[in-house]
């Protein structure tokens, strides 16, 4: 990912709301699928600019762009973004550049595009693409160690963790877009002092603060994606809440890992922030010299120099009492993806090193993103120290785990000296009573 004119901090837009305090300045231009609220319109691709959505179906009909960008906008105008994501980096960049120039202050296209804007407050979203497959990784060593110490106090971090990016196959069918609500899951649990398990609603419902990583161009079955080629395949990023039933998980997870504890619901933010938009926020990636160094297929100078991403993330809870009293949600924690033990490129390379084939729209979860400090934990399991300490919400309420009616709100953003601040919007989901 190279810096280019679309990243210029000094760019402004004729869409005035993009020049104020917003997640979506002209330097961002993320993609989603949307339609007007309450309508029977087909969902189609859109781009966020300030507090507006640029309707890409309208833009495509106007035929304003050169051949490559026009092909891209026509693909992105469909009912989902899969066809556009499949086109690859050259088309993604061509459309981003064309949109950037079209939306800039003094653009000659302003009059033609004015009617293609729809207020974000007037739209609803679908999943941005068809997610054929989803793999959840486990890339925060701080989360892995904290959770491992709860389940295995004498051996919190298993020996393979520092050698291989750990992941498991998730359930794509239960991924929903922000605004998702779902009933509290039921399943088997077993109390430590019980002889047999019992069945019923989970009592230790949790969130996990993660990034979702969308794959664009795929690879053929049997082919691999080399570490330094990962950027050609990663389309972009979203916020991802991998809801978790911790009491179900404790009983079922050995020997094959998560099952019913994870597959009842997962929530993504509607906007995909492109890999190219995130180029200014890349950082050097390091591995502690006392730890095992990556095997050759997971090691390169490029990955060392620019493999990490400084994406700030936070999570808040809004209880029914807060809503009824008109109180703001309570922020629980904040962390950054820069603390990830493994990079996105390493996840992609490892996932395909055995010949596994990605398809456009496949998604990777980063795993819970916890930082080195306790207040940077990305789950209630960590914040409450396994349910031993209640968290004061500042309004007389406390939580160890989520209660019915709780809404979890995740946000993400990037900021760096010399570049515009860009954001991801919100990832919001609500827990309903068990059916």
The pLDDT tens digits of the residues spanning 317-372 come to: 999 999 999 999 999 999 999 999 999 999 999 999 999 999 999 999 999 999 99
pTM over 0.95: yes
What pLDDT does residue 192 have? 87
**266 labelled as ligand-binding?**
yes
In the chain the domains, ranked by start, together with CATH numbers, are: 5-126 (2.30.30.230), 134-432 (3.90.850.10)
What pLDDT does residue 299 have? 98
What pLDDT does residue 125 have? 98
Task: Kindly report the length of the chain.
Answer: 435
pLDDT digits over 378-406, tens only? Answer: 999 999 999 999 999 999 999 999 999 99
- Asked if 261 and 187 count as a contact pair (C-beta separation under 8 A), the reply is yes
- Is 90 exceeded by the pLDDT of residue 49? yes
Per DSSP, helices labelled H in 153-311 are 246-252, 301-306
- Is 80 exceeded by the pLDDT of residue 316? yes
**300 labelled as ligand-binding?**
no
Terminus-to-terminus CA distance in the chain, angstroms? 47
Please give the Cα distance from 169 to 321 (Å, whole number). Answer: 37
Structure tokens at 349: 């390379």
Q: Annotate 307-360 with DSSP letters as a single string.
A: -EE--EEEEEEE-HHHHHHTPPPEEEEEEEGGG-SS-HHHHHHHHHTT-PPP-T
Write the CB contacts of 96 (distance below 8 Å, at least 6 apart in sequence): 6, 29, 274, 276, 277
The percent of residues in the chain predicted with pLDDT above 90, rounded, is 94
Structure tokens at 21: 């305090």
Is-cis flag, bond preceding 255, omega within 30?
yes
Catalytic residues: 143
Q: What share of the chain is helix, strand, coil (3-state, %, to 5)?
A: 25, 30, 45
**136 labelled as ligand-binding?**
yes
What pLDDT does residue 137 have? 96
State how far the alpha carbon of 73 is from the alpha carbons of 8, 54, 165, 252, 305, in Å.
23, 11, 35, 46, 33
**181 labelled as ligand-binding?**
no
- Is 80 exceeded by the pLDDT of residue 1? no
**138 labelled as ligand-binding?**
yes
Question: Residue 176 — φ and ψ, nearest 5°?
Answer: -125, 165
**115 labelled as ligand-binding?**
no
**291 labelled as ligand-binding?**
no
- Asked if 231 and 345 count as a contact pair (C-beta separation under 8 A), the reply is yes
CA angle 236, 240, 242 (to 5 degrees): 145
**210 labelled as ligand-binding?**
yes
């Amino acid at each position: 990912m190279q810096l280019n004119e679309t990243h210029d901090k000094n760019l402004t837009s004729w869409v005035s709301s993009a020049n104020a305090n917003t997640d979506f300045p002209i330097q961002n231009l993320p993609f989603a699928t949307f339609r007007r609220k309450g309508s029977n319109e087909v969902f189609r691709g859109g781009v966020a600019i300030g507090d507006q959505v640029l309707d890409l179906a309208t833009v495509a009909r106007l035929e304003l762009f050169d051949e490559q960008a026009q092909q891209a906008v026509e693909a992105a105008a469909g009912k989902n973004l899969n066809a556009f994501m499949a086109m690859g980096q050259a088309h993604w960049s061509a459309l981003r550049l064309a949109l950037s120039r079209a939306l800039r202050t003094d653009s000659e296209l302003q009059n033609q595009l004015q009617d293609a804007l729809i207020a974000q407050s007037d739209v609803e979203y679908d999943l941005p693409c068809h997610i054929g497959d989803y793999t959840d990784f486990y890339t925060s060593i701080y989360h892995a160690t904290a959770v491992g110490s709860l389940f295995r106090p004498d051996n919190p971090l298993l020996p393979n963790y520092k050698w291989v990016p750990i992941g498991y196959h998730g359930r794509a069918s239960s991924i929903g877009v922000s605004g998702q609500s779902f009933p509290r899951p039921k399943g088997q649990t077993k109390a430590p002092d019980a002889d047999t398990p019992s069945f019923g609603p989970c009592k230790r419902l949790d969130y996990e603060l993660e990034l979702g990583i969308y794959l664009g161009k795929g690879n053929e079955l049997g082919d691999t994606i080399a570490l330094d080629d990962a950027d050609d395949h990663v389309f972009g990023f979203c916020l991802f809440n991998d809801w978790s039933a911790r009491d179900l998980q404790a009983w079922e997870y050995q020997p094959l890992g998560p099952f019913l504890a994870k597959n009842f619901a997962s929530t993504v933010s509607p906007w995909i922030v492109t890999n190219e938009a995130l180029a200014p926020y890349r950082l050097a990636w390091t591995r502690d010299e006392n730890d095992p160094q990556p095997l050759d297929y997971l090691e390169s100078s490029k990955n060392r120099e620019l493999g990490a991403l400084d994406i700030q993330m936070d999570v808040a809870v809004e209880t029914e009492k807060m809503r009824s009293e008109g109180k703001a949600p309570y922020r629980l924690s904040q962390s950054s993806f820069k603390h990830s033990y493994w990079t996105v490129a390493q996840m992609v390379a490892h996932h395909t090193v055995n010949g596994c084939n990605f398809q456009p729209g496949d998604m990777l979860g980063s795993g819970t993103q916890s930082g080195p400090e306790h207040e940077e934990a990305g789950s209630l399991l960590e914040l409450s120290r396994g349910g031993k300490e209640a968290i004061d919400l500042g309004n007389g309420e406390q939580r160890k785990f989520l209660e019915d009616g709780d809404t979890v709100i995740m946000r993400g953003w990037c900021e760096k000296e010399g570049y515009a601040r860009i954001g991801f919007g919100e990832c919001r989901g609500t827990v309903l009573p068990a059916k």
